[in-house]
Amino acid sequence: MLRRSALIQLLRFVALTLLLIAVPALALAHGMRSAYLEIDETVSGSAIVRVRTTVDAPSFAFDMDGCVVEPEGRAVLSESGRVRSFRAHCEGDLGGRTVRLQGLGGELEEATLWFRDVAGNEASAVVLPQQPSLVLPAPRGSLQTAFDYVALGLRHIAGGLDHLLFLALLVLHVRKLRLVLLAETAFSLSHGLAFAATSLGWIRLNPAPVEACIALSIVLVALDVGRRTAQAREVLLLAFSFGLVHGLGFAGGLTEVGLPEKNAAPALMGFGLGVELGQLLMVVTMLALLRGLRKRPLQLWLERGVVLGSGGLAMFWLFSRTISLFIEETR
């Protein structure tokens, strides 16, 4: 049986969820809105180009200097998005040519470009809306690839509202500095294990139920905030368990973006490090706010707002993601 206070809180979440269902634009959830371009030079002057977008992005297009690009077949829908294939015919080698991307900044946040020349050398780069063109890069070393993916991980944790809200609620539930740091360590450990296992293909899961479970984890923690004193063993088990679920969510996103074949390990470690740095920044910020607002009325209002907002959003995400899962199963 739910305690009266928890039941009242749950009803508040439901009320906010109904509002968000009515105005869904208010509840933009976490998503990897990315494009992935794979340019594989088969012979000098000719290449196969595969374009994958994680969301429907009709405005997204690309062109290469001095090349004629022709579509090959129809677009194919896969678990990781919409895939289209092209054949590029160029005058001479592809190396050093400028690739221009159109449509970034709208439906898509960024694009990852992977290039392999006729000699088998590989290179990858991240393209942002602020600079939507680049020269096909020379092969990059492991260190530079890792740095590129650290930045990508930081950007994606910044856009991962559901992950950030979970961490904020965990801090509000625990409060004690030492226990918060231990919980963050447990969360990061399990998050990293799940992240690596899924990104490397050791575990394959449908992302839809994972996203629904992430939303459920936020609801459960929101219901516990301020209800009772957090016990160390319980908090560590909770952080470790939900870290596995959240790690699966981020790993699925990285799989959609893509890993450079020859530098997969540095890219994976870099992306994971970027995500973990973003999470740590969130935890430190919440602790600083709690300390700075200690015993002030604003602290109570801030906490109530975070809990109510997070719980309501999570209920909306749980509802919408569960409905999407059932729709997918009936197709």
pLDDT tens per residue, range 66-76: 888 888 877 77
Q: Which CATH class for the 34-139 domain?
A: mainly beta
Our CA dihedral for 187, 190, 194, 199, rounded to 10 degrees, sits at 70
| pLDDT value at 319 more than 80 | yes
Q: Please return the burial class of 284, using the count of CB atoms within 10 Å of its CB with bins 0-12, 13-18 and 19+.
A: middle
For the chain, residues classed under CATH 2.60.40 are: 34-139
Cβ contacts of 241 within 8 Å, gap of 6 or more = 190
Q: How far apart are CA 59 and CA 56, in angstroms?
A: 9
Query: 329 vs 41, which has greater pLDDT?
Result: 41
Q: How far apart are CA 237 and CA 182, in angstroms?
A: 11
Instruction: Tell me the whole-structure pTM to 2 decimals.
Output: 0.66
Provide the pLDDT for residue 228: 64
Provide the pLDDT for residue 23: 46
Q: Is 331 within 8 Å of 225 (Cβ atoms)? A: no
> At CA 281, angle to CA 276 and CA 285, rounded to 5?
150
Confidence grade of residue 257 (pLDDT, cut at 50, 70, 90): low
